[in-house]
């Protein structure tokens, strides 16, 4: 077997397909809910998924998991942080949208 090269196609998928399969086969199983919570709870624990394909699988699986679910119509407060600065506090109203400017190249 030849060694792995960064020029080779490599597309790790992470836990997204686990959630997708769980939703299709065992939608009420606690493991399916746990897979959704894992994806929502911190991505890969560094705040990112591992690759573009992993992100795609994760977002598709989460959208399928939450399809048809209603959420409370209350405002939510959150803080968005980036490595280069203080957090930005936001209040989100479920009946409107917010735009947030982020620094794409944190120092």
Q: State the total domains in the chain.
A: 2
Best-predicted range by mean pLDDT among 3-17, 19-33, 66-80, 93-107? 19-33
Does 4 map to a domain?
no
2: pLDDT confidence band, cut at 50, 70 and 90? low
Place of tokens 């989460």: 62
Does 46 map to a domain?
yes
| 82 and 64 in a common domain | no
pTM: 0.59
Place of tokens 């399809």: 67
Domain span at residue 87 reads 72-107
Does 2 map to a domain?
no
| 81 and 55 in a common domain | no
- Average confidence (pLDDT) over 70-89: 81
Does 33 map to a domain?
yes
Detail the DSSP E strand segments found in the chain: 76-80, 88-92
| 55 and 30 in a common domain | yes
């Amino acid at each position: 077997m030849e060694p792995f090269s960064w020029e080779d196609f490599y597309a790790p998928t992470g836990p997204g397909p686990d959630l997708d399969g769980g939703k299709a086969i065992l939608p009420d199983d606690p493991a399916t809910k746990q897979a959704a919570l894992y994806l929502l709870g911190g991505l890969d624990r560094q705040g990112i998924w591992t690759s573009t394909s992993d992100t795609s699988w994760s977002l598709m699986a989460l959208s399928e998991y939450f399809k048809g679910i209603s959420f409370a119509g209350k405002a939510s407060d959150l803080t968005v942080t980036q490595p280069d600065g203080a957090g930005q506090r936001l209040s989100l109203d479920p009946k409107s949208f917010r735009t947030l400017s982020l620094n794409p190249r944190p120092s």
